[in-house]
Chains A and B, each alone.
Chain A
């Protein structure tokens, strides 16, 4: 890094631009929104065509588990937002602990998801299983979309958890400070996006009867 002459090339990684970083993160989030947006449109169309079947199938889902997961994600959104406040105020330890809390919420979410999916799979509702194949077309579509959309969302939870792990590691190493916390902010933005998508998934699959 250190040049003998003290000469530093422009854009050689020595200059940070927090605003550009954040803008990049937002642009990425927009692509994510449109990815899920497309799936929501698919859901809407199939729901219009198979209204009764979707209604019937939605009663199969466990509203209690869905509600608990919603609360878990909302609380985790708060803890990561607070973690940014903590790092801005220079409280590294609190920031890391709040990140751990967020990570714990991600794990709780996945454990609940695991139990939900296992009970559905136990009933043979996963696409390709015998019982699934015997279902009327509309109900099959509901469960196909349920597994695909909550599965894609769960994948985002896992990616988010890994990102939070990286932020914890780098904060502990002293690479994230009260002056330089773009990483925490961007991880927060990603985590909030995961929460936003669940806010729509939850009523669409569990609640709309």
Chain B
């Protein structure tokens, strides 16, 4: 006697290739993700230059100043104007001095927006100079075109 199985047919797709691909995608994005982009600021679009190359050795004691298009300055997550920047720089200087270094050892990294007025950048430099800072780095994007 022929007995028919009452179980419904389950059309099970093979999930293996999909899972393989998904894991490969995850691995790809995990490797490329850059958590160390703390230096970047959304309000700043850097100008570009063909001559610069990423530094092989990181700058010592960097003080990173983001200068937005409207001239506002971001230092360590706090916003300053040219008039109040002195306070922020003094705070940074006290950290550098606590490590037994002087203003000559510090590097002021200026990340200014490409459309910022140059005068605003010069004012930032002037305020930093008043704190005896002498080493400046004008940060730009590498232009490979």
A, B co-complexed? no
Using CB atoms and an 8 Å cutoff, list the residues of chain A in contact with chain B: none
Interface positions of B (Cβ within 8 A of A): none
